[in-house]
Structure 1
Amino acid sequence: MSSSNRHWPSMFKSKPCNTYHHRQWQHDVNPSSLVSTGCHRNPYASVPGCEERSPEPKPRWNPKPEQIRILEAIFNSGMVNPPREEIRKIRAQLQEYGQVGDANVFYWFQIENQEVNTS
């Protein structure tokens, strides 16, 4: 039994993959399973293998003061949970001052509602 344990530390090599935020371990017993990038899918991992690149994360939205003034004016006028079509109109208005998405507008109202309800 001790003879099988003797090879255990050399079974795995630590080699990082060439992808963003993702590391896989290689098994040196079956080199034919390795893909051209030097990585292979770990059968025990629930994340995609190295051959699939993760998309670059989008930068966080940092609203301009003009955008915040518009959002606060709309919120204070009584529109606290705008429907989808209204969110699109608000986004179009805010885009005059910088990049913004529908999701940014939606979440701004969600956070503003939470702050009002917890105060």
Structure 2
Amino acid sequence: MNRHSDALDAVCELAGVRKLNEFKDFTDLEFNMDDFDDEDDEDDEEGDGESEAAADPETGLGYGIDDMAWFDAAEGLVSMKAMRGHVATEGLAGLDAGQNADLLDELDDCIAVLDGPASRAGKFHLAVIG
């Protein structure tokens, strides 16, 4: 899905819903890039770019829940359903049938995850992992 986000954004634009790229959270990617760039970290005894002393007690990561970008699940659900509807009926340009099926599976997974939080006015987190 991430690989095709620009094409999916075009689908969202046509449908008049919020774009996929607007829901992405780059906290993990940015954190890992910072660690990669900072190999001289004093707390990083093994030189692997990770500082155990900085681990958040809730997440076990170097960043916490409040550091992540959270989005309205109902808005995300509307966008995911719009993308899924388009891919199911028209496919996504440049993808073969197998790739479209894989994309549909991924969109279905997102819809299933968002369904509960959307019904409770919840939030969701769409992490770009790095």
Q: Establish whether TM, by shorter chain, passes 0.5.
A: no
- TM-score where L is the length of structure 1: 0.26
Computing the radius of gyration over CA atoms, which structure comes out larger, 1 or 2? 1
- TM-score where L is the length of structure 2: 0.24
More helix by share: 2
Which structure exhibits the higher relative contact order, with contacts defined as CA atoms closer than 8 Å and separated by 6 or more residues? 2
